[in-house]
């Protein structure tokens, strides 16, 4: 990319006004991600073409072709994934939990209607059943979705009805805690997950950014410490198109066979390139362990509360 293309004159800055939700806009040729969740900053991507725009029962859905990150899925003005960097999120949110237990068989994915987490869970040969709860059918129908993805439903209600001790692992691939995903960050939801897991079962939830959302992370950690009597850990990954360029995960296990999240017992990277249609792009066992190392300020705030 030519250097001049990166330089935006202040008079040409792409954001002129907010859309009807008061968040992001595509103005002249750029998408800028503006949200009260990250006030005072907005990452922008150049738009080549808008491929889909719609309003579902729950949220605004947009898919556009960007000039540098491939196709981009946006919900209520917030980037959910791009073709170029989705691997850094989908591989980590899936393999951090599934590589931490010996033999995952039954997995529940909450959210994840774009199919990326499903693609990653399917790499694990031990997995016999994957249930998926995606609230929004329009997300399932989008250009990213996986052919195998069919079940939609409300994660909160689904979990309440699930028999105790059903799943080896639950992955919560949610959007941010405003709008339809808000409940997925609250204590009763974590209690339902703990109930749905086998002893020594694991959960991995999207847990926001240490640069932007420490108060949210501290609340999640405090709730999880009360609910999950095994391990409670925060890990993170880089995602250039997410606010602050990174995102975290809360990993917890229920009482039972101990789970040491920092040391994977079920490595997937060794044989992956022979067994999969698309080899892993981001995850490996070294990165798995490194993902639990926190910068000092984050360690001070949450490190002592997690273990
Ligand atoms: N700030 C956006 C966080 C989005 C996390 N979920 C992404 C879903 C991708 N499957």
Give pLDDT tens digits for 56-65: 888 899 999 9
Beta-strand relationship, 106-111 and 71-75: unpaired
Q: Whats the size of the chain, residue-wise?
A: 307
pLDDT at 2: 34
* 176 CB within 6 A, ligand 1: yes
**From the CA of 54, how far away is ligand 1's center (Å)?**
18
* 116 CB within 6 A, ligand 1: yes
Asked which of 156-165, 201-210, 235-244 is least confident by mean pLDDT, the reply is 156-165
The pTM of this model reads 0.88
* 78 CB within 6 A, ligand 1: yes
pLDDT at 6: 29
Question: Per-residue pLDDT averaged across 65-94, rounded?
Answer: 97
Catalytic residue among 85, 114, 136, 173, which?
173
* 114 CB within 6 A, ligand 1: yes
Residue nearest to atom 3 of ligand 1 (CA): 175
Report whether pLDDT(185) > 90: yes
- What's the rounded Cα separation, in Å, for the pair 205 and 264? 18
Contacts of 288 (CB under 8 A, 6+ apart): 95, 96, 99, 262, 264
Which tops the pLDDT comparison, 140 or 114? 114
For residue 173, indicate whether it is catalytic.
yes
Which residues face 60 on adjacent strands?
55
């Amino acid at each position: 990319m030519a250097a001049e293309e990166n330089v935006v004159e202040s008079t040409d800055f792409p954001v002129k006004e907010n859309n009807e939700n008061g968040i992001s806009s595509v103005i002249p040729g750029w998408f800028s991600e503006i949200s009260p969740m990250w006030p005072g900053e907005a990452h922008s991507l150049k738009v080549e073409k808008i491929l889909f725009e719609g309003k579902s029962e729950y949220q605004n859905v947009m898919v556009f072709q960007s000039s540098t990150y491939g196709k981009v899925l946006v919900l209520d003005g917030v980037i959910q994934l791009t073709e170029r960097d989705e691997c850094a999120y989908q591989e980590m949110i899936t393999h951090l939990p599934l590589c931490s237990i010996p033999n995952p068989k039954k997995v529940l994915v909450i959210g994840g209607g774009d199919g990326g987490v499903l693609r990653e869970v399917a790499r694990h040969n031990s997995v016999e059943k994957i249930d998926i709860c995606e609230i929004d059918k329009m997300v399932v129908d989008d250009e990213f979705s996986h052919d195998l993805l069919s079940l939609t439903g409300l994660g909160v209600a689904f979990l309440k009805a699930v028999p105790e001790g059903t799943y080896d692992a639950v992955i919560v691939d949610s959007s941010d805690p405003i709008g339809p995903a808000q409940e997925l960050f609250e204590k009763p939801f974590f209690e339902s997950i703990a109930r749905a897991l086998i002893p020594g079962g694991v959960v991995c939830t999207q847990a926001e950014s240490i640069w932007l959302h420490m108060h949210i992370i501290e609340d999640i950690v405090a709730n999880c410490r009360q609910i999950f009597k095994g391990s409670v850990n925060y890990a993170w990954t880089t995602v250039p198109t997410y606010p602050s360029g990174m995102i975290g995960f809360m990993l917890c296990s229920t009482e039972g066979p101990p789970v040491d999240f920092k040391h994977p017992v079920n490595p997937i990277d060794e044989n992956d390139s022979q067994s999969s249609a698309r080899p892993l792009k981001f995850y490996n066992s070294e990165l798995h362990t490194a993902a639990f190392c926190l910068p000092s300020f984050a360690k001070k705030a949450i490190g002592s509360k997690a273990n």
